[in-house]
Structures are given as structure tokens and as C-alpha cells.
């Protein structure tokens, strides 16, 4: 895709039709592009705002090939996909970004960590697990992680002592040291087809410990300039090492000793970058469209401090979603409400998010927590 390409007729394919695909599609449509999505769910969030919906699974080779053949460039809103057919298509000259080879590497969290380690990127101590003896030899407490398929806290567990070995995850996994964490940080990094890289501000993530899902994001993070610069340096190098094109969410641990360690990398728009829609000159969702279509990357300037809060399905409810407290929430100044349009809610499912701006980050947090207290997504059925 060169500079003479007719962008007025550009066709983008997105694998995945959830909330990330929805906002990506909205940004692509703003730029006048035609969007086709692939997702197994009829009337999924992205289907509501796209030009065409191919109904199919992420491991359906025929439907994946159809999407790629019908579009000028294909990208992703999730990483759990069949890469074999995509590698064939990529090798035959189709534009797929990040490349299926990068996606395949990132799918395996152990191989991802191993590559970063080999290239001098600081990561927590880790070890492949082949037996209970491997677990015991590493020492306790320890974090066990599945190699494939984990997300949003699933596929991760702590083993506190030898007695917990009986509860370990019975699948291909590896173990990591239990890091003494001061803060969990993240950086959204964009890289385009020319190799240009831009980083968004370092943000601070707060987690819902009940399900280990990112609950809130503060931008900018409450860290020193020195730590901020080190984070940007490490994240830039990580994406250069991967050689990927698109948007990457790089999750970091800041230890109590002041070390910065890469936890993992997501090869797509990331929860920690939702705030960019209202708070940055270019959102992560527009940026990925620019990156994969060989357009110049947009400014990542932070226009205002902000706090993003995920709105999860309420405990005790499932079924058709009902929004409680929307009037009270929208009375809060500089608050934006995003509802994803999912037709079914269940406990802790990501149903939407809010972003609150304020010149003072602590005031933004205060307003966001007030909104979180009143805004609830309940379901038609009590459970």
C-alpha cells in the first residue's frame, strides 16, 4: 500500500467484533473507509457500526480467507485466532497487520517472554514447567500462567506452597516469580509500516482483585519523570524487537525496588488505552487504522489528565442488560459514557466504560469513583 493508493476506496477487515472492533470500526468509518468484520455472534458490537459482517469463528479457515480476500488490509481486535491460513495469505502478499507470525508468537505467553528476555528486555524470573518437580524446585510462592489462551486474569493463579501443587492448572504452562509490585503500569505503543514508533503516556492500572480484571486507568501515571522515561524506552525496544505493525498494549510492573519489568504485550487496542478517545490528540483506535494502512501516525499528546473506569456486569444478574444510574453519572462534568451494545450481561462481563477528564488527576479519580458508585449494569434475570 503506497502513497498513491486510492484511500477513498479502502477496505479494512477486522477479525473480532467486540467493543474494541466496534470503536476501531467507528474510527475507520469516520475516515471514510469500508469495514468488514468477522465474528461468530450475530449483532455483535462491531456489527452494529460496520458495512459488512461475515458470521464465522476465529478458527474458521474458510471465513478468515474470505475476509482477507475481500479487503485491502486485515487487522485484529483479539489474538486468539487461527494463524495457519493467515500465514499462507500473508506469505502470498496480502496485507495483514500485525503479521500472523507476530500474532502466533504473542499467543504463546512463554515464547513471548522468552524472546523479550533473550533481547535484553527486563522481565520477571520465569521457568518452563514440565513436572511437579519443576514447580517445587523454583520455590514458593509462585505465579502459574497458561502458555496459550489466557486473558483478563483467566489462566493465571498463585501457588502459595507445595500443598497448592494439587490445584495447579492442568495444561501447558510456565511459572513466574511473585513480583513485589508497587504499581502496575501500561503504555500503548504504535508502529506503522515504515517502522515509525510513537508511545502514548504511561498510565497506572488498578485491578478488581475479585477477578483480576483491570478496573481503572489513570493517565498520566503517578510516577517520577525518570521512571516514565525508562518505561517508554523499554516499551519502544519491546515493539522494535517484535517488529509488529499496529497498536500494542505493553503491561509493566514497577517493583518496590524501582525496577521496571515487562509483564506481557497485547497485539491490539488495549483496555489501558480507552482513555485516549477523549484525552489524547489521536485515539488508539484511530492510530491502529493509520498504522496498518501505511498512513502517518497521529500525535499521542495528552490533552487532559483522565481516569477510565470499566463498567462490568453486576454480580447476581444476567440476561438483557439494564443501565442503572445513567442520569446521575452524566451530571458529572467532563464524563463520557461508552456502552458497548452487548445483548447479554453476566457478572464481571465488560459492558462499557466511562472516561472522566480534569486538570487535576486526583479530582478526575474522585469524579470517576463517584460515577462508578451510581452506574450499574444489571440484567433481566437475578441469579
The average pLDDT across 322-349 equals 96
Instruction: With a cut of 90, say whether residue 78 has pLDDT above it.
Output: yes
Contacts of 233 (CB under 8 A, 6+ apart): none
pLDDT given for residue 161 in this prediction: 81
Question: Distance between CA 381 and CA 369 in Å, rounded?
Answer: 26
Q: What is the pLDDT of residues 263-272, one digit of tens each?
A: 999 999 999 9
Question: Distance between CA 359 and CA 357 in Å, rounded?
Answer: 7
User: What does DSSP assign to residue 314?
Assistant: P
Do 83 and 103 meet the contact criterion of CB atoms below 8 Å apart? yes
pLDDT given for residue 134 in this prediction: 72
Structural domain range at position 144: 125-177
Whether 295 and 371 share a structural domain: yes
Whether 232 and 197 share a structural domain: yes
The average pLDDT across 72-90 equals 97
Whether 74 and 219 share a structural domain: no
Whether 345 and 262 share a structural domain: yes
Q: What is the pLDDT of residues 127-165, one digit of tens each?
A: 987 777 777 778 888 888 989 877 666 788 888 887 787
Q: What is the CATH number of the domain that holds 136?
A: 3.30.1490.20
User: What is the pairing mode between strands 203-208 and 213-219?
Assistant: antiparallel
Whether 189 and 163 share a structural domain: no
Instruction: With a cut of 70, say whether residue 342 has pLDDT above it.
Output: yes
Whether 80 and 209 share a structural domain: no
Whether 284 and 236 share a structural domain: yes
Number of domains into which the chain is organized: 3
Whether 260 and 170 share a structural domain: no
pLDDT given for residue 346 in this prediction: 96
Q: Looking at per-residue confidence, does 144 or 25 come out higher?
A: 25
Q: What is the CATH number of the domain that holds 251?
A: 3.30.470.20
User: What is the pairing mode between strands 376-382 and 126-128?
Assistant: unpaired
Whether 229 and 347 share a structural domain: yes
Give domain status of residue 104, yes or no: no
Give domain status of residue 1, yes or no: no
Q: What is the pTM of this model?
A: 0.94
Whether 86 and 173 share a structural domain: no
Secondary structure class of 195 (helix, strand, coil):
coil
Chain centroid, CA 46 distance in Å: 16
Whether 191 and 294 share a structural domain: yes
Residue spans of beta strands (DSSP E) within 24-146: 34-39, 52-55, 73-76, 95-96, 126-128, 142-146
Q: What is the pLDDT of residues 359-370, one digit of tens each?
A: 999 999 999 999
Count other Cβ atoms within 10 Å, centred on residue 328.
13
Amino acid at each position: 500500500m503506497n502513497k498513491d493508493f486510492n484511500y477513498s476506496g479502502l477496505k479494512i477487515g477486522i477479525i473480532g467484533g467486540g467493543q474494541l472492533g466496534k470503536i476501531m470500526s467507528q474510527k475507520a468509518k469516520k475516515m471514510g473507509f469500508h469495514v468488514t468484520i468477522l465474528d461468530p455472534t450475530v449483532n455483535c458490537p462491531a456489527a452494529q457500526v460496520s458495512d459488512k459482517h461475515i458470521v464465522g469463528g476465529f478458527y474458521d479457515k474458510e471465513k478468515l480467507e474470505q475476509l482477507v480476500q475481500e479487503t485491502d488490509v486485515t487487522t485484529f481486535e483479539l489474538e486468539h485466532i487461527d494463524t495457519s491460513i493467515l500465514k499462507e495469505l500473508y506469505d502470498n502478499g496480502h496485507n495483514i497487520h500485525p503479521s500472523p507470525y507476530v500474532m502466533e508468537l504473542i499467543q504463546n505467553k512463554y515464547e513471548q517472554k522468552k524472546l523479550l528476555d533473550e533481547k535484553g528486555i527486563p522481565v520477571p524470573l520465569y521457568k518452563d514447567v514440565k513436572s511437579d518437580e519443576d514447580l517445587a524446585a523454583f520455590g514458593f510462592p509462585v505465579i502459574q500462567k497458561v502458555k496459550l489462551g489466557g486473558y483478563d486474569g483467566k489462566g493465571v493463579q498463585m501457588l502459595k506452597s507445595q500443598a497448592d501443587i494439587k490445584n495447579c492448572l492442568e495444561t501447558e504452562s510456565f511459572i513466574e516469580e511473585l513480583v513485589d509490585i508497587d504499581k502496575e503500569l501500561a503504555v500503548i505503543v504504535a508502529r506503522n509500516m515504515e517502522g515509525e514508533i510513537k508511545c502514548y503516556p504511561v498510565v497506572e492500572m488498578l485491578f478488581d482483585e475479585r477477578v483480576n480484571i483491570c478496573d481503572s486507568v489513570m493517565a498520566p501515571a503517578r510516577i517520577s519523570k525518570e521512571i516514565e522515561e525508562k518505561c517508554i524506552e523499554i516499551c519502544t525496544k519491546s515493539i522494535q524487537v517484535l517488529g509488529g505493525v499496529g497498536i500494542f498494549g505493553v503491561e509493566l510492573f514497577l517493583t518496590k525496588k524501582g525496577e521496571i519489568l515487562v509483564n506481557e504485550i497485547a497485539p491490539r487496542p488495549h483496555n489501558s488505552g480507552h482513555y485516549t478517545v477523549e484525552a489524547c490528540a489521536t485515539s488508539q483506535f484511530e492510530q491502529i487504522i493509520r498504522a496498518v494502512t501505511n498512513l502517518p501516525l497521529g500525535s499521542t499528546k495528552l490533552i487532559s489528565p483522565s481516569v477510565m473506569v470499566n463498567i462490568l456486569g453486576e454480580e447476581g444478574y444476567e440476561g438483557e442488560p439494564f443501565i442503572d444510574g445513567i442520569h446521575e453519572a452524566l451530571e458529572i462534568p467532563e464524563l463520557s459514557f461508552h456502552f458497548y451494545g452487548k445483548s447479554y450481561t453476566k457478572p464481571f462481563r465488560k459492558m462499557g466504560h466511562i472516561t472522566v477528564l480534569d486538570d487535576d488527576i486526583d479530582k478526575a479519580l474522585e469524579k470517576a469513583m463517584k460515577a462508578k458508585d451510581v452506574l450499574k449494569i444489571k440484567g433481566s434475570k437475578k441469579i
